[in-house]
Structures are given as C-alpha cells and as structure tokens.
Structure 1
Amino acid sequence: MPRKTGVTTWRGYFTERLRAGVTAVEHIVGGLGTSLLAFVALVWLAMVAAASLLGVGLLLASTVFRVNRAVANRERARLTRWGPAVIGPPPLPATIREALRDPEVRRELAWVSVHGTVGLLLSIAGFLLPVYAIQNGTFPLWYWAIDPDAGGPGFIGWRIDGFADALGVWLVGVGFAAVLIGLGPGIAKLQALPGRRLLTPAGDADLSLRVAELTATRAAALDAHTAELRRIERSLHDGTQNRLVAVNVLIGAARRAADRNPAAVADILERAQEATEQALAELRAVVRGILPPVLDDRGLGAALAGLAGTCAVPCELQVDVPGRCAVSVEATAYFLVAEALTNVVKHSGAASAAVTVRREQDRLHLRITDDGCGGADEKGGSGLRGIRRRIEAYDGRFVLTSPPGGPTTMDVELPCGS
C-alpha cells in the first residue's frame, strides 16, 4: 500500500510539472510576440532619435510614445491574463516635453529597451526548447527520410547510420523536454519580470487607479446583486404567485360548487392540486436558483456533474478542486457554468462542450469550450454581460475567445482563498 501511495505521489508530481511546463510554453510564446513588438518599437525609437539629430525626427517624436504605449498595453493585457491584473496608466501627455517628464512614459521606454533585447533573447531560447524537443523526440520516426551525411535535426551534425543513432538524437530530445519542464516556468517568470516591475503604476498613482478599480468593482457587484434580486422577484411573480392565485380561485370555486353542484367539486379540487404541485415545483426551482442544495451538500464537483449530465449538448467535465472553496465562490462558479452551458445550447449550435475546473493555490480556474459557430459577443447579450458582472464582483478575470466559425472558449479566474 505505501508503494502505491508513492507511485501516486510521483505521478501527481510529474503531472503537475508537465502542466506547469505546458503553461510556461504558452506564456513564453505570448511573450515572444510582445518582445518582437518591443524590438520593433525599439528600432523605431533609434531611427527617430537618429533622424532628430538632423532635425527631421522631431516631427515623429510623438509617435514613439504612442507606439511604446500600444506595445506596453499589449504586454499589460498578456500579464493580466496570466496573473494579477496590471492596471494601465492615464492617457499620454499632450506635449513631447510633458511626456519626457512623465514617470510612466519613462518606465515604458525602459521596459521596451529591456523586453526588446533581453526579453527577446529569453523568448527565443524558451521557444526553441519545445521545438527542439519535438523535432529530436520524433526523429526516430522520420530519420530514414534524410541523407545520413546531413546529420540530425537542429544543431546535431553527426552522421546518422541507423536506428541506434536516431535513438541518440531521441535522447537529446528527451533532454530538451526535461530542461523545458524544469526551467520553463522560471524562464516564463523571468520573461514577465520587467513588465511586472516597470509597467505597473508606481506609488500614489497605483493606489488611485486601484481605488477607481475597486469602485467600479463594487458598482458591478451591486448591479449583479440587483439583477439577481430582480430575477428572483420575476420568477416568484410570474410563476409561483400566479399558480397560488389559481389555487385560491379553484378553492373558492369548489366551496361554491359544494352547495350548487357537488359532482363538480372533485374535478375542481383535482385541478387545484395540480396547480399546487406546479407552484411547489416552481418554488423549488427558484430555491435551487438561489443556492442548489447539492452544491452545499456534496460540493462543486457533484453540482457541476449534475449540470453536465442534464445539458442538452454532450458535455465533458473535468474537475480538479481539492477541498472546498468559499460558498460564495462555489455558487458563482456553478452559476457561471450553468449560464455558459445555457448559452451553448441556445446560441452556439455546438455538437459538444467541455468544462474544466481546477484550483491552483488561491485561484479557481474555469474553462468552458464548445465547437459551435462562434461569434459570441458581450454586446449582443446572451447573458455574457451578466457573467462578466458576476466575475468582476469577486475581483476575478474573464476572457472570451469566440472567432466567427468557432470554437468558443471562456476562461474565468476567481480568487478562492489559500
């Protein structure tokens, strides 16, 4: 039995490290894009500076700040998707002199210089690791298709005489994969470090922006709470209340019929009983809409399994949430998935959907995907604005990717405590 526990522990550790390596590759690829943009912005800065010596570049000086701001905002958006939110600075100053005195502009210039050089080298190195790992790792499958004297892929220049040499190249690919799994997360963090240090507002500016963000978040929370109360009131008024009124009318009719037409009383009471049962069913549905009992009794995984099992579109569910989160967080996650699956059924035309929920330290990550027609837009309704309001009320993050033709991916991150 201890041996089985040890195997399970090692398997879990390896799975976690592999997942961290894959996530690091995603970070590095995203950072490679922004580092290339930063390099272009840096080249443009150098060209304008050189032209300014001739007096021509002064006419283009303002474009340097706009280009840097655009690239920096792309990096801020990338960092926000993968970690704590990076709040953007106020608008650029009106004049070049004011821009040069602005500490935020200076920090962006410093970031472009670092990310466009050191960050670019880190990004290329991190990007080549998985490329070489795949290229060398699959070499035994296609080594016969190349000239033996040409050597192996990448920097491997020795002669490939047969399958044994191809296995040697495969071992090199395994080494690259091991380096990626071991060092990939560190490379991703080092790649993001300049942005975390230089693109976040400093001092009082950061405090003011965060106060403004908290004010907007509080307003979103109040809006979400008001919308939820309105939904409950509408459900009770349009459903349960009307059923109870019908029951009251039928009971009155039965009482009057007791003297005039006793034979009709049984039929009237049967209709009253049916109306009562419908009212109770609708009342139970409203109560479940406030907080599903299965969520409180058995946890988030069981509650989501019920949603996936009753979804009209085949839905694959993966839940990796050790322990319990706060009740409010679990309820929010439940209703987000419920609303998202409702949208999938009503609007996407999808043949399948998938829900993945996992907890990483103090963050709860949800991903809902479908293979439908895509084109989902918050401005078009479909409950997406309500989903965003719920998430913002908990200081979470919401990213929707839905190109025309699909697929649609909804990524949600909620703080759930340590």
Structure 2
Amino acid sequence: MPAAPGVRSALSRSLDRAIVIVAVLSALLIVTTIGLLPLGGPAGLLLAALPLIFGIYVVAGLIAWRRRPSNGLGFLILIAGLMVFIGGVANTEVPVLLAIGAIGATLALPAMVHLLLAFPSGKLPDRLSRALVVVLYTASLVLQAPEYLLDPDGSYPPFAIADAPGAVAVFGILQTLVATAVMLVVAGVLWGRLRRADAAHRRVLIPLFSYGIFTVLFLPLIAIALDRVFHVEPAVRGLLQFAAVAGIPIAFALGLLRGGFARTGELEELGTWLGTADAAKEPLAAALARTLGDPTLRLFFWAEGQGGLLDEGGRDVSVETVADPRRGWQPIVLDGRSIGVIDYDAELLADKELVHTAGRIVAIAVDRDRLTAELRASQTALRRSRERIVEAADRERRRIARDLHDGLQVQLVLLALEAQQIATAPPPRVPERATRLRIDIDAAAADLRALVRDLVPAALVERGLTAAAEDLADRMPIPTEIASEIDDGALSHVVEATTYFVLTEALANVVKHAGATIARVRLGLDDGRVRLDVEDDGVGGASIEAGSGLRGLADRVEAIGGTISISSPPGRGTRVWAEVPCG
C-alpha cells in the first residue's frame, strides 16, 4: 500500500498559497524588469545580473519563510532583495522607476546589515544592533538625497532644486565614511557573536558570519579603494559588488540548511497558539489534531499515582484498548519523565519526527493537563468511594433491620405469647413451660449477641486488635496461623476497627472462595502505620474489583488515608495486605 500523503493544517496551506503568490509576482517583476533594461548596451551583462540577484534573494527568502514562518528572517531576506531591485531599476527609462531608483540607490547596504544582525531570530537582539541599522538607513536616505537634489545632471534631474556639485561631493564622501565606520563596527559585532557562541551554534554561524564580515568590509573597500584610489572600471567594480551582494542570500540559505531547521510551519502555529488566551479555552488534544491535520488524534496522560493512562476527562484508559498497529504511539517526555502519549493515525502522519517535535512543544501544557486529569480522576474516585461507602452502610442497615425484624422480633413476639400462656396455664404445667421459655430466651439472647458481635466484636472492644484477631482465628474452620507485634490498647478505635474488618473480610473470602487448607495472618506496626498481611494457599484469582466486600473495605481504608492491595495469581493462593496510618 502506498504511503498516505501528509495532511497539512489550514494555516500551513494558507502559507503555501502566500508563498506561491509572492513567487509568481516576483517572477513577473523580474521578467518585466528584463524587458525594460537596456541589455543591448555596453553594460548589458552587468544590468542582466540585477534581476538574477533579485531572484536569488526571493528564492532564499521564500525558503526561510517556509521553514520558519514565525521567524522574521525570510521577510528580511525578501526586503533586502527588494532593496537591491530598487537600486537597479534606476537603469531603466521609466520615469517612475528612475525616481524610485534615485531615492533608494543605496538601501541595499543597510538591508543586508539588518539581515546579518538579525540572524537567526529575525529580530535585532540589542540596542547597538538597532542603532547601527538606524544609522545606516538614515545615511542611505538622507546623505544620498544631495545626489539628486543638488545635481541637475544627477540620477533624476526632475528632483534637482539647486546646482551645488561641491556639496554633492562632500555629502558623497561623508556617506562613504559613515558607511565605512558602521561596517567596521558591524564586522566587530559579528566577530564577537561568533566568539561567544557555543559549539553547536558556531557550526551554523561560522559560514554565514564569516561571509558577512567579508562582505561588510569588502563593500567599503570597493567604494573607497577601487573607485576613488585605483579608479577601476565601473563595470568591473559593479560586477564585484554584485557578486558580494548575491552571496548574502546564498549564505543565509546554507546557514538555514546547515542548522538543520525542519519544516515547522505547523509547529510554529502550535507554539503561537500556546502563548495565546485561546490555549485556555480549546482542549490541547483538539489543538494538536488541528495543527497536525489528524482528526482522529487522541492525547492520553500518564497517571503517576495509578500507573496507568487517563484521558482528558480523567477516565482510565487501558493500553490494550488503544493499541492498534495502524496507529502511531508517540510518548511525551518532560525532564526525563513520561507524562503523556499522542495516539495518531500512522498512515495519515507518516512523519514521526513531526509528531515527536509537536510533543516536545506541548510538553509543559501536557503536564498541566495531566495534573488536571489526575485531579479529575481523584475527584471521580473519591465520589465513587463515598457513594460505595454510603451504599455499603445502607446495605448493612437494611441487613440489621431485616435480621431484627425477621429474627429477633419474631422470637420476642413468640416469647411474649408463651409468657401469656404460662400465666393462664394449669399449675402442674407451669414449671415445664417456664423451663422451655427460659431456653427460648437464652436462644434469643445468643442471637442478639451474635448480631452485636457482627457489628462491634466484644473481643475488639474489651481486649484490643490482637486479642480479637486471635479469637477470630480460633473460630476459623481451617488452620489459621497468627503472628502479631501490636500491643492491645496501643491503637485508636478507628484504626483497630478498620484493620479488624479488613481481616474478617479477607478470612471470610478464604473460607468461601479460596478452597485453602491453611491461612496465615501477620499484624505489625512500622513507621506509624499498622500493617496487616493475610495469606492462603488456595486457588487464587481474587480481585478487589470482583466483589463488593473487598471494594468496600478498600474504600473504608482509603477514607482514613490507608492503602489495600491484593495479589492472587491463579493456582498460587491469595495475599491481601493493608496499611493503615495510626495518626
């Protein structure tokens, strides 16, 4: 089966359309410019290089824009290319383009410096960088103005307001000196950044900043040495300048590729979403599904306390139920801890690294939602525990009421009738019937004692937990060994009662279901907690969730901060152990 094509988010598709439009418009601009330039003249080769350089900038800018949509670097490359293009349209014969070219003849230089200083974030990182860029843009616009305002034979005669060739020369030299000084400072800034970078970043910065330092030093050299000192032919000087300028976008493209920047359009969208108010309104799983383009994507959280998976509602999720060979399973790790899992359509999203990167981006938000899911699960478990405790109490009250009504109450009514009959019986039969009445009263009293013993064992009330446990073991129908390290009277009534009822339920299950030949009971006190361990050699297969008895006991133990666990492999007996805090 061929691999399914990757699914793109709506924002990513919109970005693709925008890039296509920019590429088409740039191509039309290049073709139009080529048609307007006088390529048949002696400088035809030099003029033909201008649209080509602009095309290089456009391609490099679109690559950077596509790979890092939220980074301003791609936009800056396009702007730098546009400044190069503006400087070249002055060679056409169209009046509007001549005017634009005259004003922006030297804007390519500050645009390139802006580009170099803004790498790799797309923003100028400090005040010095911003000051250098502002000074260069100002020098390019203000100090360039006398060239067309004070020279009727200058780049655009209609703009001329005076004829002052001396002022034009002075401003030209001043512009060169300012640009040269700024370029030297820029070279120092780039060199300083290169030295301060760590090994990983230096690998990316060395090719780009090395070429950038060469360029910012070479361009003033061309303007000063080749032009004013050696008087090199303009065509040769222009070709050298164009070659240096054209290498800038190529160096940036190589820097991007060397840095290993992935196609992160979808992930940039996700990172932006996390920083907005919408992140608190839209579920994280829905945002991941929308970003990665997989409507079937599901997000699960690892519950540290439960050792299992939870969904966003805090409900338990079985790993077996979500395991599917057609789906991908990407763990989310934060600080070395597995905090969640992304379950996605592996055929739809063939790029596993994309899902992995998305998981890294949302890891902190996943940890937040994981804690929320655990809290919801705890609240749900607490509510269900309380409901089970209430239901168990209701069942116990109904049982007591039924036993009293159907048993003891009937016996008392019959005894009352018997006493009434004795009062009217002939004297010879009174002793016999009184004896029978006494026997029936003893039986009723025994039933009452049994009922009370089931509610609160007398041995537990009178002598403590160890004595009550020994009494219970003595009444077991199978041999039961008991070992206790607890002194009677050392525990509170709540702790004693809770531990005793766990013991009675565990031994009752041994008798009813285990088919065991022996049971062992151990009671201990360790680190402020009562530890109870009940073990048998029966058939095993028991579970807390299988019946209401142990489940009710677990609720009661957990209600006072304790824990209860069960191990019951089939054919290897059952072990129940509980820990109850003494405080």
**TM-score scaled by structure 1?**
0.51
Shift of 1:313: 1.3
For 1:297 and 1:407, locate their aligned partners in 2 and report how far apart those are by CA, in whole Å.
33
Q: Does 1:291 align with 2:456?
A: yes
The count of corresponding residues between Structure 1 and Structure 2 is 256
Residue aligning to 2:305 = 76
2: CA distance, partners of 1:320 / 1:199? 43
State the 1:300 CA deviation: 0.9
For residues 255-404 of structure 1, the aligned pairs below 5 Å read 255-258=423-426, 262-321=427-486, 324-378=490-544, 381=547, 383-404=549-570
2:394 to 223, 226, 229: 226
1:377–1:206 Cα change, 3 Å: closer
With over 3 angstroms needed to count, the CA separation of the structure-2 counterparts of 1:369 and 1:245, relative to structure 1, is: same
Deviations 1:249-290 (A, max 9, x none): 2112222323xxx43333322221111001111111222222
Distance apart, 1:350 and its partner CA: 0.4
Q: Matched residues in 2 for 1:106 and 1:341: separation?
A: 45
Of 385, 391, 408 in structure 1, the residue corresponding to residue 574 of structure 2 is: 408
Determine the structure 1 residue equivalent to 2:312: 90
Shift of 1:330: 0.7
- The alignment partner of 1:90 has SS state of coil
CA distance in 1, matches of 2:504, 2:461: 16
CA 1:87 to 1:350, structure 2 compared with 1: closer, same or farther past 3 Å?
same
Q: How does 1:57-136 map to 2 (within 5 A)?
A: 69=301, 72-73=302-303, 76-77=305-306, 90-91=312-313, 109-110=333-334, 113-114=336-337
Name the CA shift for 1:110/1:314 in 2 (closer, same or farther; >3 Å): same
Contact 1:250-1:272 within 8 A present in 2 as well: yes
Q: Report the counterpart of residue 244 of structure 1 in structure 2.
A: 412
Distance of aligned partners of 1:370 and 1:318 in 2 relative to their CA distance in 1, 3 Å threshold: same
Q: 1:400 to 1:206 in 2, by over 3 A?
A: closer
Residue aligned with 2:468, SS: helix
In structure 2, relative to structure 1, the CA distance for the partners of 1:384 and 1:212 (3 Å cut) is closer
Residue type at the aligned position of 2:333: L
Pick closer, same or farther for the CA change 1:203–1:351 going to 2, 3 Å.
closer
- Kept in 1, the 8 Å contact 2:567–2:574? The answer is yes
How big is each residue's C-alpha offset from its partner over 1:185-220, in whole Å with a ceiling of 9 and x where there is no partner?
Answer: xxxxxxxxxxxxx98977766665544444333333
Q: Matches of 1:306 and 1:200 in 2, distance apart?
A: 51
- C-alpha displacement of 1:348: 1.3
CA distance in 2, matches of 1:199, 1:397: 26
Q: For residue 266 of structure 1, what is the amino acid of its counterpart?
A: P
Kept in 2: contact 1:89–1:201 (CA 8 A): no
Paired residue type of 1:297: E
CA contact (8 A) 1:87 1:200 kept: no
> Once the two structures are superposed, what CA deviation does each residue of 1:104-150 show, in whole Å capped at 9, x if it has no partner?
x9995226x3579xxxxxxxxxxxxxxxxxxxxxxxxxxxxxxxxxx
Q: CA separation in 2, counterparts of 1:210 and 1:377?
A: 21
CA distance in 2, matches of 1:396, 1:201: 27
| SS of match in other structure, 1:222 | helix
Going from structure 1 to structure 2, the CA distance change for 1:239 and 1:385 (only over 3 Å counts) comes to: farther
CA distance in 2, matches of 1:65, 1:87: 10
In the alignment, structure 1 segments of 5+ residues that lack a partner are: 1-51, 79-85, 94-104, 117-197
- Distance, in Å, in 2 between the alignment partners of 1:200 and 1:352 is 49
Whole-angstrom distance in 2 between the partners of 1:108 and 1:272: 77
Q: Classify 1:387/1:214 alpha carbon distance in 2 versus 1 (closer, same or farther; 3 Å).
A: closer
CA deviations over 1:92-115 (Å, ceiling 9, x no partner): 99xxxxxxxxxxx9995226x357
Note closer, same or farther for the CA distance 1:209–1:366 as it changes in structure 2 (3 Å cut): same
- Match for residue 74 of structure 2? none
Larger fraction in helix = 1
- Residues 193-204 of structure 1 aligned to structure 2 (within 5 Å): none
State how far apart, in whole Å, the 1-side matches of 2:444 and 2:314 are.
Answer: 59
Contact 1:221 1:389 in 2 (8 A): yes
Based on CA coordinates, which of the two structures has the bigger radius of gyration? 2
Name the aligned partner's letter for residue 458 of structure 2.
P
Separation of aligned partners in 1, 2:465 and 2:504: 12
Aligned partners of 1:106, 1:360: CA distance in 2, in Å? 42
- 2:64 corresponds in structure 1 to none
User: SS at 1:286's partner residue?
Assistant: helix
Deviation digits for residues 142-184 of structure 1 (CA, Å, limit 9, x no counterpart): xxxxxxxxxxxxxxxxxxxxxxxxxxxxxxxxxxxxxxxxxxx
Residue number among 221, 228, 235 corresponding to 2:403 in the alignment: 235
Distance 1:234 1:416, change over 3 A: farther
Distance in 2 between residues matched to 1:92 and 1:333, nearest whole Å: 30
Q: 8 Å contact 1:221–1:392 — kept in the other structure? A: no
Partner amino acid, structure 2, of 1:294: A
Residue 337 of structure 1, CA deviation = 0.9
- Supply the distance in 2 between the matched residues of 1:200 and 1:357 (Cα, whole angstroms): 41
Aligned CA distance change for structure 1 residues 211 and 343 (closer, same or farther; 3 Å): closer
1:352 Cα deviation after fit: 0.6
2-structure distance, mates of 1:360, 1:311: 27
In structure 2, runs of 5+ residues without a counterpart are 1-261, 267-291, 316-328, 340-365
CA contact (8 A) 1:200 1:206 kept: no
TM-score of the superposed pair, with normalisation by structure 2: 0.38
Per the TM alignment, residue 296 of structure 1 is displaced from its structure 2 partner at its CA by 2.6
Determine what percentage of the aligned residue pairs are the same residue: 34
Residues 466, 484 of structure 2: 8 Å contact kept: yes
Give the alignment's Cα RMSD to 1 decimal.
Answer: 4.0
Gap change, CA 1:201 and 1:296, over 3 Å in 2: farther
Amino acid at match of 2:499: A
| Shift, 1:310, TM fit | 1.7
